[in-house]
Amino acid sequence: MERLPQPPGITEGLISAWGVSEDGQTVLMTTDSSSDRQRSWILLGSAITALTTPGADSVWAWDLSSDGRVAVGTMRVDGIEEGFRWTAETGLVGLGSVDGEPPSGNSLSTAEGVSDDGDVIAGRASQPTNTFTAARWTAKTGFVPLTSDSTIMQALAVSRNGQAVVGSFNSSAIRFAFLWTPENGIVQLPSLPDDTENHYSAWAVSDDGAIVAGWKIFGVPTAEAIVWDSVRGAIRLRTLLERDFGLDLEGWQIYSVYDMTSDGTTMVGYAEDPTGLRQAYRAYVPRLQHGDMNCDGVTGVGDINAFVLALTDANGYAQQFPDCRIIHGDCTGDGSVGVSDINCFIKLVTAE
């Protein structure tokens, strides 16, 4: 994990990383300081560029395109909030609302996430009924709601290929994370085991929708970074890094994941270091190939003998497959490989 440089003139410990380019070299940073009018920057190498526009009271940028050329967010001009799309060539361009309707109160829209080509944006937009809804924006369609449901919902990110959208919705005073795809519509994401009372939001999603990340909040300002995958459900990012990858994160609190690369292997967000200072971070999380026990890149019948060896002799497995991680056999997500993984492993193998 790497600590990123501080923008000039900003209070130390109040910076978060909200976006990362596909190559991991361009990072979007935003400050939480209410006293700073300038709030968002692009970091490319060691160069830091401020995002601003004449007449803006404030500018918050929340996401970055794959090549680092397009940023999206929300600006406030003359007291009106509106989602924007930014490039170095055009500057900040407002996105309007559903059907081009006038603002509901003092807000037209927000822009929270952008696809890799900068052409698809996820956010929240006002409707003719003066309500807000999760919406997907393109230059051709403008903002289009993801659902006709009246549930309070906001889209917080879009996959880099523009096909999957994630965010949060409220139900019975509890906030849940969701994943939207054209095929399945809106699907609620699971909570951590034995945890149904906390509030979850999803802020990032891989192109195939198999990896989703965000946070859970269990009392302001306390939060924990959460990762969802298609096999294990919900898991804390800190648990994932310590248990599955052997990192020593003693004294660190990882609060959130705000963006990831298209394959879900590079994540950025904010954390608190052992001294108590908030830091923007970048974490590398190699993607597990569940059931690939011989590490040939696929899961199939060729993994059966290796799985049996892992079950019966973990040391023998490590010796025979020194470049493999035994955690590939943890199909249930409990952090170990055991008899409880057998049925899940069989399903993975027979789905070849």
Which amino acid is residue 193, in one-letter code? P
Is 235 in the same domain as 104?
yes
Q: Are residues 111 and 254 in the same domain?
A: yes
266 and 315 in a single domain? The answer is no
- CA Rg value for the chain: 21
d(CA 61, CA 67): 16
For the ranges 43-47, 99-103, 233-237, the lowest mean pLDDT is seen at 99-103
Give dist(CA 131, CA 150) in Å, integer: 9
Residue 293 covered by a domain: no
Confidence of residue 221 (pLDDT cuts 50, 70, 90): low
Cβ–Cβ < 8 Å for 5, 284 = no
- Omega into 5 within 30° of 0, i.e. cis? no
pLDDT value at 9 more than 90: no
Same domain, residue pair 325 and 277:
no
Q: Return the pLDDT at 128.
A: 63
pLDDT at 38 over 60: no
Whether the per-residue pLDDT at 180 is higher than 90: the answer is: yes
Instruction: Say if residue 216 is in the same domain as residue 271.
Output: yes
Spatial distance between the Cα atoms of 286 and 266, rounded to a whole number of angstroms: 8
Residues in CB range of 12: below 8 A, 6 or more apart:
6, 277
Question: Largest Cα–Cα distance in the chain?
Answer: 68
pLDDT tens digits, one per residue of 20-34: 787 888 888 877 655
Q: Same domain, yes or no, for 162 and 187?
A: yes
- Give Cβ neighbours of residue 341 (< 8 Å, ≥ 6 apart): 329, 330, 331, 332
334: containing domain:
301-350
Structure-model confidence comparison of residues 11 and 192, the more confident one:
192
- Please tell me which residue, 277 or 33, carries the higher pLDDT value: 277
pLDDT tier at 341 (50, 70, 90 boundaries)? confident
Backbone angles phi, psi at 244, to 5 degrees: -90, -20
Judgement on whether residues 270 and 322 belong to the same structural domain of the protein: no
Q: What pLDDT does residue 163 have?
A: 93
Neighbours of 346 (CB within 10 A): 14
Rounded CA-CA distance 336/330 in Å is 6
SS3 assignment, position 278? strand
Angle between helices 304-312 and 342-350 (to 10 degrees): 170
* C-alpha distances in Å from residue 182, one per residue of 121, 179, 212, 304: 15, 10, 16, 35
pLDDT at position 336 is: 78
For residue 275, give the CATH number of its domain. Answer: 2.120.10.30
Do both 66 and 183 map to the same domain? yes
| Residues contacting 115, CB < 8 A, separation 6+ | 65, 66, 121, 158, 159, 160, 161, 162
Number of structural domains (the chain) is: 2
Q: Higher pLDDT residue, 107 or 352?
A: 107
- SS3 of 319, please? helix
pLDDT over 90 (residue 339): no
Residues 192 and 88 in one domain: yes
- The answer to whether residue 27 is domain-embedded is yes
Tell me the average pLDDT of the chain: 82
Half-sphere exposure of 267 (CA within 13 A, CB side): 32
pLDDT of amino acid 206: 93
pLDDT at position 322 is 84
